[in-house]
Amino acid sequence: TWRSRRGRAAARRGRVAGMTDGWTPTRLDLSGEIRDGRHIQPVRIYYEDTDFSGIVYHANYLRFMERGRTNHLRLLGAAHRALFEEAGAEAPGFAFVVRSMQIEFLKPARMDDVLDVVTAPEEVKGASITLRQRVTCGGDTLVEGQVRVAFVSEGGARPIPKPLRDAMQADRDVIADGT
């Protein structure tokens, strides 16, 4: 059992009793991964994510998708805190803002499901990025969305920092090439 000596020892080593692959969670795992130009963020559904009928409340998908976008930026080397500190002097009061969003709810997720939030750049412009996002579970697409995010400072659109724009463009090119 979990409370057994073996279970406690496995937990101290970063493994759950009974697991044979020796997987150890790391902070990087919390940010998901970029694979084939797409960011993949796993999300487990908890009781707090569901409504009275046991399915995920629709607004929570927006939170999951925000996590996917944030961690996509983080893995591209643009952690929000560092980005805010760097850009603060160059573009005071800057922010990424959701300019527009289209979303389709296709199937429900339920408590204990493990979802993948897949984020991929679709269009990269000077001051905005359009991202295609999908929430899947076991190969089924549950939610599809398209999000346009703008970079603003001092009340107006500003160019996205070039390193970030280049990294997103590179991901988009990988997807377009099918590699």
The catalytic residue positions are 51
CB 63 within 8 A of CB 45: no
Residue with tokens 């990424």: 96
Residues 6+ apart with CB under 8 A from 21: none
- The CB density around residue 88, as the number of other CB atoms within 10 Å, is 12
- Residues 65, 133: contact at Cβ < 8 Å? yes
Tokens linked to 57: 């409340």
Q: Can you give 94-155 as a three-state secondary structure string?
A: CEEEEEEEEEEECCCCECCCEEEEEEEEEEECCCEEEEEEEEEECCEEEEEEEEEEEEEECC
CA 37 to chain centre: 13
Token pair of 169, please? 């463009």
Residue 15 backbone dihedrals phi, psi, to 5 degrees: -125, 155
